[in-house]
Amino acid sequence: MNTKMTRRTFLKAAGGFAAAAALPVGLVEVARGQKPGDKFTFAYISDSHITQIKGSEFVRNFDNGLKKAVLEVNFMDPQPDFVVFGGDLAQLGKKEEFEHGLEMMKDLTVPVKWVTGEHDYYLDLGKYWQEKMAPLYYSFNHKGVHFVVLNSILTDDDWMYKRWPTPEERMLQMARLDNPDGSPFMVKGEQRAWLKKDLEKIGAQTPLIVLSHSPLYKIFKPWNFWTDDAEQVQTILKPFKNVTVLHGHVHQVLYNQIGNIAFKAFMATAWPWPYPLTYSQLPNMMPVITVPMNRADPFKERDGTGWGYIQYNGGLSYTHELWENSPRVVKKDPKMNRPGDTQYQSPAKRIPPQKHY
Amino acid sequence: MPPIPVPQDNPQSPEKIDLGKRLFEDKRFSADGTVSCATCHDPGKAFADGLPTAEGIRKLRGTRNSPTVANAAYYEIQFWDGRKPSLEEQAKDPFLNPIEHGLTSHAPIIQTIQKDTSYPGQFRTVFGVEPKDITIDHVVKAIASFERTLVFGDSPFDRYLYGGDKTAISESAIRGLEIYRTKGRCQDCHTIGQTNATFTDNKFHNVGVGFKRIQPKVMQIANAFRRAKQEGKDIDKAVLGDQEVSELGRFVVTLRPSDIGGFKTPTLRNIAVTAPYMHDGSLQTLEEVIELYDKGGEGNPFLDSGIRPLNLTAQEKADLLALMNSLTSPQFSNIIPLKKKE
């Protein structure tokens, strides 16, 4: 690193310029977006898993992922209207991890819509989150689209409040994959009742985007690629003509369509997860329409990670900024009436896996 | 060496190659009659120029190191930032760059060819065209055909690894090859294959060289370029005429922030005789290049995620250097490498 200008000061300098440089085009976008249903863009950063080693020492690789995403969102021209943070800012929900993550996030030149993840939640059950980031669930309207943020990573009261001797132990248990003592994610009754009431305010034709951390459908329970009361949530969303659920948690390219609802996951900035398909001992419900991403090359620590942005123009188009790879764009395939990769959806157009090592 | 990729619409022929060589060396295709392709891609300097950055008409200096044309036919994409897809398309640009050949259009080239005593006959033989029908596309096809003959392998390294001659390179270079493939992390980009080696992955990487020139205002520079490009600004002129735009690297083609400061992995063949190094020619010796990679490149927010500190020992660095010195083809072995400055 250049000693005269540290990364931090550089990011600040660069951030300042972004605001200045992007201003004219940004204003044009706002002016055009005055009437409802007009087009707009927002970015999506997720699963940074900022991990404290000890004291002021953090896992460098994960820091670099979040910093890179923030820097690249700031480079967007025109600027997005806002950034959704898809959850799991911290690894073990520690105050130090939140503070360190927020220090990087505050370089963003646009506002943040926060979605909480289980790694943010199970130490203090959302106390820090609600004080410094956002409520655990809320809704807002943006240019004719109704957005709902859900806390989809709740679980049984017994598990949350009684099972574990300390909050630290509870957090560690929830952070484990393939955990026989784990417990599945849920939205739970109170929030479902709130959701129902919130949606009473809008018409069935209003475009609806639901932001959750876990997928609001069921893929693979041992890794919590799963929301246990997903069907009940889907039923509440059923009357709406244009529903999309955007989520994090799975750290991979993933999309699905169930009835009227399109589902789309975004990358982590920290590391990629494998697909449940690769764990052949147990059945999974991996969506068949998803064209999987390639295996990450461990030589390049940013391979398999990235961020994305969503363009709303009546329909939604999702662009994955896949580091060390070409971008992938997924949008609604009008013939199939479901999301599809604009380049690789047809099996003939896919890049075959490497067979020679 | 792998077989040379030849595009279907430009097959090789001996007459075309001869014509291409003549065009490559013809200085009349420049604003003041002083510059040919061979000026910066000098056969006597392993088809490079030995200068940090290219020198065109009236001693005007460009922003980038002239890459050797030796083995350039193996690149899947041309120029340091990959702004052209083929040797043919690449060859069109330097003629029109104000600090290279300095012409304002390709027309004077065609006129010179038409008026020449022997070019019209050569073009008729090669392409079956009459003088009035000669275009720049014929010219660059011939040049590219000539460049496809500039294939230089058969280095001591090739004889060792692919020729079965276990004594072709020194013990130090043999150790260097092991480091190259493991701790040195060279292999992932400068690819050595099972049966042949081009020493490139044909990808673009930010190793931080030259980035400090733009670091304080990189976003301003990037956004200004983005607008200029949208308004139709010529990339070739912007890149070679403006040091700051030059340092944006691959970004000028893709406009992706993650491509800022990314430059194509150059081949390592004949590396010992094609100093100075890096896209801006800022490193004089291979020792300096090895030091750069050993420290993990020049830190910057866009640094390639495969670049990291290596902690090589002095012996390991010397072994890598010995390997680099074994990559020179016999045709260039008379060229004296630059020595490290004391």
| Residue B331: CB atoms within 10 Å | 15
Query: What homologous superfamily does CATH list for B14-147?
Result: Cytochrome c-like domain (1.10.760.10)
Question: Side chain identity at A2, as an amino acid letter?
Answer: N
- Whether A181 and A208 have beta carbons less than 8 Å apart is answered as no
- Residue A210 pairs in a beta bridge with A148, A245
| Residue A29 placed within a domain | no
Question: Side chain identity at B222, as an amino acid letter?
Answer: A
Structure confidence at residue B154 (pLDDT): 96
The verdict on A7 touching B (C-beta cutoff 8 Å) is yes
Mutate to test the interface with B, among A71, A320, A328 (most CBs of B within 10 A): A71
Structure confidence at residue A298 (pLDDT): 87
The verdict on B91 touching A (C-beta cutoff 8 Å) is no
Cite the DSSP H helix spans in B135-217.
136-147, 156-161, 171-181
**Cα of A61 to nearest chain B Cα, Å:** 9
Helix (H, G, I), strand (E, B) or coil at A199: helix
**Per-domain residue ranges for chain B?**
14-147, 153-336
| Residue A323 placed within a domain | yes
Burial annotation B150-184 (CB, 10 A radius, 16+ → b, else e)? bbbbebbbbbbbbeeeeebbbebbbbbbebbeeeb
| Residue A354 placed within a domain | no
Structure tokens of B303? 């640094």
- Total domains in chain A come to 1
Q: Is the pLDDT of residue A265 over 70?
A: yes
| Residue B96: CB atoms within 10 Å | 18
Tokens 């799963």 belong to residue: A226
Domains B14-147 and B153-336 share a fold: yes
Full 3-state SS string of B211-246: HHHCHHHHHHHHHHHHHHHHCCCCHHHHHHHCHHHH
| Residue A25 placed within a domain | no
For A335-347, give the DSSP string: TTTEEEETTT-SG
| Residue A7 placed within a domain | no
| Residue A134 placed within a domain | yes
Range of the domain at A163: 39-345
Structure confidence at residue A31 (pLDDT): 37
- Residue A139 pairs in a beta bridge with A148
User: Within 13 Å, how many C-alpha atoms sit on residue B145's CB side?
Assistant: 24
Please count the residue pairs, one from chain A and one from chain B, whose beta carbons lie less than 8 angstroms apart. 64
Q: For the whole model, what pTM was predicted?
A: 0.88
The verdict on B340 touching A (C-beta cutoff 8 Å) is no
pLDDT digits (tens, 9 = 90+) for A82-133: 999 999 999 999 999 999 999 999 999 999 999 999 999 999 999 999 999 9
**Cα of B301 to nearest chain A Cα, Å:** 7
| Residue A21 placed within a domain | no
pLDDT digits (tens, 9 = 90+) for A218-264: 999 999 999 999 999 999 999 999 999 999 999 999 999 999 999 99
Which CATH architecture does the domain made up of B153-336 adopt? Orthogonal Bundle (1.10)
Structure tokens of A330? 């997924």
Cα–Cα distance, A266 to A288 (Å, whole number): 17
| Residue A237: CB atoms within 10 Å | 21
Cα–Cα distance, A44 to A316 (Å, whole number): 13
Question: Phi/psi class of residue B125: alpha, beta or left (left: φ > 0; alpha: ψ in -120 to 50)?
Answer: alpha
Residues 247 through 276 of chain B touching chain A, CB cutoff 8 Å:
256-258
Question: Side chain identity at A29, as an amino acid letter?
Answer: E
pLDDT digits (tens, 9 = 90+) for A6-56: 444 444 444 334 333 333 333 333 333 345 457 999 999 999 999 999 999
Q: What is the pLDDT along chain B (342 residues), one digit of tens a residue?
A: 899 999 999 999 999 999 999 999 999 999 999 999 999 999 999 999 999 999 999 999 999 999 999 999 999 999 999 999 999 999 999 999 999 999 999 999 999 999 999 999 999 999 999 999 999 999 999 999 999 999 999 999 999 999 999 999 999 999 999 999 999 999 999 999 999 999 999 999 999 999 999 999 999 999 999 999 999 989 999 999 999 999 999 999 999 999 999 999 999 999 999 999 999 999 999 999 999 999 999 999 999 999 999 999 999 999 999 999 999 999 999 887 766 554
Pairing of strands A328-333, A208-212: unpaired
Which residues in B lie closer than 8 A to residue A301 (C-beta atoms)? 305-306
In this structure, what CATH number is given to the domain that contains residue A322? 3.60.21.10
Cross-chain CB nearest to A324 (options B215, B217, B305): B305
Q: Is the pLDDT of residue A76 over 70?
A: yes
Structure confidence at residue A20 (pLDDT): 36
| Residue A73 placed within a domain | yes
Structure confidence at residue A357 (pLDDT): 59
- Whether A193 and A229 have beta carbons less than 8 Å apart is answered as no
The verdict on A131 touching B (C-beta cutoff 8 Å) is no
CA proximity to A283, closest of A220, A238, A231 = A220
Cα–Cα distance, B69 to B147 (Å, whole number): 7
pLDDT digits (tens, 9 = 90+) for A128-170: 999 999 999 999 999 999 999 999 999 999 999 999 999 999 9
